[in-house]
């Protein structure tokens, strides 16, 4: 497998494309938005420059990586004659089902269809195709170029051949693939999201403030990032979506999203992506932070 297509040029999609391209795979990066494609390539370029500044890669590696990526704004054109298609679109069940139905109709018979979903059933996604044995979950962690784990999720009908191929492919990317079964949230988010939700509940109940909660978890539990900051980084809308998948899947009240999280998402306070969540990421705050460094 050397010819890859990645659908979605957002945070996860451009990260996945970056990793494949840096490891000498030919990658088609697909998004219906030209602006998203431009932003995705800009992000990849900045991340490569950051690796150069840290002496992790050379200028030649950057040049080759970017040369390995071709952008497309059309799925049919972008997935033609590909060995693997990795879907990294928004975490919405209806959208993913629509994409996989289309992919099944236009991709060649031996193409493996993978999804980067962090919580939605692989079996459900595979059921809209005529190749459920070739549908698999390939859940990368954010930031993709840095994080080593890839959660490999088998659907009910995913074949051993498909699973082995994706496990081996992940190793070629320098990742550590870990096989899990198809249950809501898989392993990563089944454990992570209730913890983030509990941190939000702790704030909601007035037990402590935002920085205090994060400080306790960073210094007391050796977490590299506090749970509220991490929720901002993931996106509060994404956290809410995953919690809803868990709650719908298990019907267990422990997965019910905190009312504060629901209200923040409705108010458009989504974290880093919107400029404000539990923390303020606005330009004025950034300027204030820089000013303090030189005061």
Q: Is 3 annotated as a binding residue?
A: no
Q: Is 74 annotated as a binding residue?
A: no
Q: Is 9 annotated as a binding residue?
A: yes
Q: Is 198 annotated as a binding residue?
A: no
Round to whole Å and give the CA distance between 161 and 201: 43
Active site annotation includes 276: no
Active site annotation includes 295: no
Active site annotation includes 118: yes
Q: Is 13 annotated as a binding residue?
A: yes
Q: Is 127 annotated as a binding residue?
A: no
Q: Is 8 annotated as a binding residue?
A: yes
Q: Is 80 annotated as a binding residue?
A: no
Q: Is 275 annotated as a binding residue?
A: no
Q: Is 12 annotated as a binding residue?
A: yes
Q: Which of 36, 87, 151, 170 is catalytic?
A: 151
Q: Is 24 annotated as a binding residue?
A: no
Active site annotation includes 151: yes
Q: Which of 189, 197, 241, 274 is catalytic?
A: 189
Round to whole Å and give the CA distance between 231 and 225: 10
Q: Which of 36, 116, 118, 119 is catalytic?
A: 118
Instruction: For residue 224, count other CB atoms closer than 10 A to its CB.
Output: 8
Q: Which of 121, 139, 274, 276 is catalytic?
A: 139
Residues annotated within a binding site? 8-13, 31, 91, 96, 118, 142, 273
Residues annotated within a binding site for NAD(+)? 8-13, 31, 91, 96, 118, 142, 273
Q: Which active-site residues does the annotation give?
A: 118, 139, 151, 189
């Amino acid at each position: 497998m050397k010819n890859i297509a990645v659908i979605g040029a957002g945070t996860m999609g451009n990260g996945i494309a970056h990793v494949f391209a840096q490891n000498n795979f030919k990658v088609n990066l697909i998004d219906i938005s030209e602006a998203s494609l431009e932003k995705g390539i800009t992000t990849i370029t900045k991340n490569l420059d950051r690796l150069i500044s840290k002496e992790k890669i050379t200028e030649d590696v950057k040049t080759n990586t970017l040369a390995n990526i071709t952008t497309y704004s059309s799925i049919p054109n972008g997935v033609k004659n590909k060995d693997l298609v990795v879907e990294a679109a928004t975490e919405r069940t209806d959208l993913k089902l629509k994409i996989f139905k289309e992919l099944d109709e236009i991709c060649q018979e031996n193409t493996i269809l993978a999804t980067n979903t962090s919580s939605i059933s692989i079996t459900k996604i595979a059921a809209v195709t005529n190749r459920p044995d070739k549908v698999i979950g390939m859940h990368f962690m954010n930031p993709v170029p840095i994080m080593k784990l890839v959660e490999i999720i088998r659907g009910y009908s995913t074949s051993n051949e498909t699973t082995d191929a994706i496990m081996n492919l992940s190793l070629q990317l320098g990742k550590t693939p870990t096989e899990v079964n198809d249950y809501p949230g898989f392993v990563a988010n089944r454990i992570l999201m209730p913890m983030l939700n509990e941190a939000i509940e702790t704030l909601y109940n007035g037990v402590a403030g935002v920085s205090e909660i994060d400080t306790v978890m960073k210094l007391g539990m050796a977490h590299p990032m506090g749970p509220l900051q991490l929720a901002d980084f993931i996106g509060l809308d994404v956290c809410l979506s995953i919690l809803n998948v868990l709650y719908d899947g298990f019907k267990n009240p422990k997965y019910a999203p905190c009312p504060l999280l629901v209200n923040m998402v409705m108010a458009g306070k989504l974290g880093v992506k919107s400029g404000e969540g539990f923390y303020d990421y606005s330009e004025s705050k950034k300027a204030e932070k820089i000013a303090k460094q030189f005061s």
